[in-house]
Chain A
Amino acid sequence: MTTKLFGEPVRRREDARLITGRGRYLDDIGAGALAAAFVRSPHAHARIVDVDVDAALDVEGLVAIYTYEDLTGPLAEPLPVLIPHPQLTAPRTGYPLANGEVNHVGEPVVMVVATDRYVAEDAAERIAVTYEELPAVVGVDAAREARACVHEEIPDNVAARHHQETGDVEPALAVSPHTLSFTQYVERSAGMPLEGKGVHARWDADDRSLRVHTSTQASTSVRAAIAAKLQLSLDQVEVVAPDVGGGFGVKIVHPWPEELLVPMAAIALGREVKWTEDRREHFISSAHERQQRQEVSVGFDDDGRITALDVHVWHDHGAYTPYGIIVPIITATQLVGPYVIPVYRVVVESVYTNTVIVTPYRGAGRPQGCFAMERTMDRIADALGLDRAVVRERNLIQPSQFPYDHHLTFQDGRPVVYDSGDYPALLEKLKALVGWDGIDALRDDAEARGKLLGVGMALYVEGTGPGPYEGGHVQVLGSGKVLVSTGLTTQGQGHETSFAQIVSSELGVPIADVEVTTGDTRRFPYAVGTFASRAAVMSGNAIALAARGVRDKALRIAADVLEADPGDLEIADGVVQVKGTPGASIPLRTVAVLSNPLRYAFDEAAKQATQFAVQASNDQPPVTPGDAPGLEHRDYYSPIRSTFASGAHAAIVEIDPQTWEIDVVNYAVVHDCGNVVNPMIVEGQVHGGVAQGVGGALYERMAYDADGQLQNASFMDFLMPYASEVPDIVIDHQQTPSPLNPLGIKGAGEAGVIPGSAALASAIEDAVGRRITSMPISPTELYDLMRSETAERTAASGRRTGVGA
């Protein structure tokens, strides 16, 4: 079958448009719209004493100024806690505009609307806000010490204590032949989509309806939020995600204050209003992730097999908890990775700080969990003098143990039961790919060139594709065009291609005939969103089911026309035909025309279809009861629980022992996301993830000072890696299909970022012989570590003469 494109490396159909400037991003919409700009808090923690707008009033072109006092009804209430949890005992959210207090630099205080953004910023600059500063809590340790508090009524700064355990860990540790305890840190970073957030709203006063474009990962939910907060009926609100220039999690948070305030102003003013986030705003008023302090105690036997694991994490949650404790839960439950952990206890304390909120950023707590688990493996190996791969191998869940129940509860409230996988094979492939067993020769060669070489590895299991559901709609037109829509959004993942491949394969039509629309509530009103590596699993399967529904109907209609049994028909290249009987066929587009008994002959297709029309029986209605006109089908996919993808990364670094520059000379990835829709797209996702993993390990950090001022809020000082910093990546695939969904697929979006810090810390430690207990690490920090009298030397460095000494 020539149309079987599932699994083929089809080139991304959207790329030509996107890379030649024909994308339609938020700021490309509404050229004549009024522009909004915000006065944002310059203080990390302060009471607002006074807002004086007088000086702004004579700025020519000013249209409106809004403060908290102007908000009414539900808008004046705190923003929603999207995902409540019983262990989130002290949730807090901000207001669309600050109500008397600000809790981080960048929190919106005043919205200005003017004829253009220049004028709006001129006016915003003249608004004088008087603050009474309060002590700022910055960083996870300060929050934990709680000498000051972020929210007055929460003196210990603890928003949530998330706690899970699978047995009695203390006795298990006590009887373990060996134990180790250590503390380590992961620093803040952020997803940094190249397109920031942005909202455009247009109120149609005649139609009394609102159309909102927003650069979001969840248009259906933004729609519901706007309707609720602005007290509109859902049918009055349409929300469309245009081309979105990256999300990485930050755009799943909703409603952002601006997603409510811009529509509010558009309705109040009767004019189009637009806000386009600038880079500084994105740094100080969107979302970050990743900072954790991790205290790990592990028990293990002489072979390095883990007997018990006790982890206590302090998770910096920033100023508010709008997205609940999803990130802490994911750290807690995904930490265990591909390993058998006989007794496990984890406590994650989410603490408030006077910094930008923390919500999921690609990986969403997994990189930290992986860092804890994989560094534990490294420490066990070092303590016992074993190869790090061997220790991992001995702890792996075996293929015969699936489905494997960790007896933990995942972010979706469902049990952490791994559906399928083959972790030993993954590890074997990784060792071969990176040349693990030949590393000593490479080390010698590097040493001869004056370089320190090290290798590290890290494995992960990633819960992907959580529910509750996604839907898909497939419709064949009389022209032969196949319209596909799903409610979740796209922000660069190539859904136009991968979803079209699924439909092309399921329906037997040329991919060129398939048009995919995502994230438009006018086309598909029920959806959850694009996050948690769920789009291919959720919408992919829903679209496949919808396509199968269309196929069934097409075969039924064609069977009537061709006087054949539906089971004897097949569809290929857009033609339904009786298997093995050339000539006994009907184009699918004609079936589409026949599917609608109202056939005004507007076009040739309709005219031609009449020759196939089967004379309906006079005692039956034209549309059979239970049937519907049109060749279309809508279906939903709702999974029993998440699928669990897996992977293993290894990095080889070379370090200049004079300048302490760190060069990643080899980066190997083995990746298993079940059946693959498009290997080229999966590899692209892995590449992007690795780039962010390398960024988080070696370059990026949010450099807050003690006052809560972000010192590097620009692309000049926040060091997102360029292509020149991202190593060449070698990838090997493994496909362990998921038994949980029709297509057998697992998610792939986040995987690439997860093991970066763990693998690179391991490699650097291997190269220099000093314990790496905090990531990221830069050359200047490595230099400090190497000079430090107190830095711990690894046992491996002592056993290996001449290295790191």
Chain B
Amino acid sequence: MKPAPFRYADPRSVPEALEVLAAEEGAKVLAGGQSLLPLLSMRLAAPTTLVDLNRVPGLDTVEVGGDGVRVGALVRHAGLLAHQGAARVQPLLARATANVAHPAIRNRGTTVGSIAHADPAGEMTSVLALTGGSVTVASSSGTGTVGWRDLFVGPLETSLPGAAVVTSAFFPALPPRSGTTFAEVARRKGDYAVCGAGVVVTLDEDRRVAAVRASYVSVGLTPEVHDLTDAVAGSPVEKADWAAAGALARTLVEPDGDLHASADYRRLLVGVLTERTLADAAVEAAGGSE
């Protein structure tokens, strides 16, 4: 369980990093290393060069604005989890991050890294999707923005070219009159979720359900956002039939089975978690009181 030989570069700027990535075919960006290093040790990945971003200044900031939260490439999960400003603008960030693995991993692993890793079992890919977020990508052709829908191509696969660095992720703010919740069922505390669910409920000015969206973890090959509004549209928030939304969600997802859960069991959990998280999110959307 020792990695195959690789070269190591520790650039001091993003352009310098891009230079190495362009020059070295098979080079790979290293941030927190919590997904990459186990792959290296098990020789499931053998990059020619690791381009370590950790000494690039300016990538470790969380910027909070009225429209959303921008998370730099070196912000650790633990940093985002503890960021009160970010939590005020988009509460889903802290709620989801709390479910990312264990403290030791959260202290080292980065939110942007886990998005760039594009693991459908990762919490933050799902949160990027649910919030309608995007990433900022630096490449030889300049800096651009890629929306979540264009980013995720398949399991552990993004649309980004090899010589690119994701410098930040942007999570739009929670809309007004909205509430959000995130919940998981995992075999052990801190494990990859058997199934996770993030939901956003938005009410209209009469406290009727205007929009319901959900995104799931460990369900499907790439993160998706499911619109469950039809099941409860127009219901007064207190009377909304969240079970109906859960039932609708079960018909929309296409989970796979693995060692820890059958596809059927995952589908069951999608329904249960949807119903439960929506009920909580609705309370928040309604201003914390029923």
Contact = CB atoms under 8 A, between A and B. Distances in A.
A complexed with B: yes
Interface of A: 117-118, 121-122, 125, 278-280, 658-661, 699, 703, 711-712, 714, 716-717, 719, 721-722, 724-725, 778-780, 783-784
B187 A783 contact: no
B5 A780 contact: no
Given A122-B4, A279-B1, A717-B259, A725 B43 contact: no
B71 interface: no
A779 B187 CA distance: 8
B42 A778 contact: no
Given A125-B43, A280-B42, A722-B189, A658 B1 contact: no
A658 B272 contact: yes
A779 B184 CA distance: 14
Contact of A118 (B5, B259, B260, B272): B5
A783 B264 contact: yes
A780 B260 CA distance: 7
Given A122-B4, A280-B1, A659-B272, A783 B265 contact: yes
Nearest to A712: B259
A699 B260 CA distance: 10
A784 B262 contact: yes
A117 B188 CA distance: 32
A661 B185 contact: yes
B98 interface: no
5 contacts: A659-B269, A719-B187, A724-B189, A778-B187, A783-B265
Given A659-B185, A699-B187, A779 B1 contact: no
Given A658-B272, A780-B260, A117 B185 contact: no
A122 B5 contact: yes
Contacts of B269: 659
B261 interface: yes
Contacts of A719: 187-188, 191, 260
A778 B188 contact: no
Given A780-B260, A783-B265, A121 B189 contact: no
Interface in B28-81: 38, 42-43
Contacts of B272: 658-659
A703 B260 CA distance: 10
Given A724-B188, A783-B265, 14 more contacts: A117-B2, A118-B5, A122-B5, A279-B1, A711-B259, A719-B260, A721-B188, A722-B188, A724-B189, A725-B188, A725-B189, A779-B261, A780-B261, A784-B264
B190 interface: yes
Contacts of B264: 783-784
A783 B190 CA distance: 22
Contacts of B38: 716
B185 to A, nearest CB: 6
B175 interface: no
Nearest to A279: B1
A661 B191 CA distance: 15
Contact of B4 (A117, A125, A658): A125
A121 B2 contact: yes
Contacts of A717: 259-260
A653 to B, nearest CB: 16
Please report whether the interface of chain B is mostly helix, strand, loop or mixed according to DSSP.
loop
B189 A278 contact: no
A278 B38 CA distance: 13
B224 to A, nearest CB: 22
Contacts of A117: 2
Nearest to A725: B188
A548 to B, nearest CB: 49
B3 to A, nearest CB: 7
Contacts of B211: none
Contact of B2 (A118, A712, A714): A118
Contacts of B4: 121-122, 125
Contacts of B187: 699, 719, 778-779
Contacts of A724: 188-190
A658 B274 CA distance: 12
Nearest to B43: A125
A719 B192 CA distance: 11
Contacts of B42: 280, 714
B268 interface: yes
B280 to A, nearest CB: 15
Nearest to B46: A125
Contacts of B185: 659, 661, 779
Nearest to B257: A780
A244 to B, nearest CB: 20
Contacts of B268: 658-659, 783
Interface in B167-207: 185, 187-192, 194
Closest 7 CB pairs of A and B: A724-B189, A780-B265, A278-B1, A118-B2, A658-B272, A780-B261, A121-B2
B54 to A, nearest CB: 22
Contacts of A725: 188-189
Interface string B101-128: 0000000000000000000000000000
Contacts of A716: 38, 192
B94 to A, nearest CB: 20
Nearest to B3: A118
Nearest to B263: A780
B1 A722 contact: no
A174 to B, nearest CB: 43
A204 B64 CA distance: 66
Nearest to B4: A122
Interface in B258-289: 259-262, 264-265, 268-269, 272
A128 to B, nearest CB: 16
B62 to A, nearest CB: 28
Given A278-B1, A659-B269, A703 B259 contact: yes
A56 to B, nearest CB: 14
Interface string B1-22: 1111100000000000000000
A706 to B, nearest CB: 14
A279 B38 CA distance: 12
Contacts of A659: 185, 268-269, 272
Contacts of B191: 719
A721 B190 CA distance: 11
Contacts of A703: 259
Interface string B191-229: 110100000000000000000000000000000000000
B243 to A, nearest CB: 10
Contacts of B3: 118
A714 B43 CA distance: 14
A661 B262 CA distance: 14
Nearest to B191: A719
Pick from B191, B259, B262 the residue with the most CB of A within 10 Å.
Answer: B259
A724 B190 CA distance: 9
A724 B101 CA distance: 13
Contacts of A714: 42
Contacts of A779: 185, 187, 194, 261, 265
Contacts of A279: 1
Nearest to B275: A658
A780 B185 CA distance: 11
A122 B269 CA distance: 43
Pick from A280, A659, A660 the residue with the most CB of B within 10 Å.
Answer: A659
Contact of A699 (B1, B188, B192): B188
Pick from B2, B5, B42, B185 the residue with the most CB of A within 10 Å.
Answer: B2
A166 to B, nearest CB: 42
Nearest to B192: A716
B151 to A, nearest CB: 25
A54 B70 CA distance: 53
Nearest to B5: A122
A784 B262 CA distance: 9
A658 B43 CA distance: 40
Contacts of B262: 780, 783-784
B190 A722 contact: yes
A278 B43 CA distance: 13
A695 B192 CA distance: 18
A296 to B, nearest CB: 29
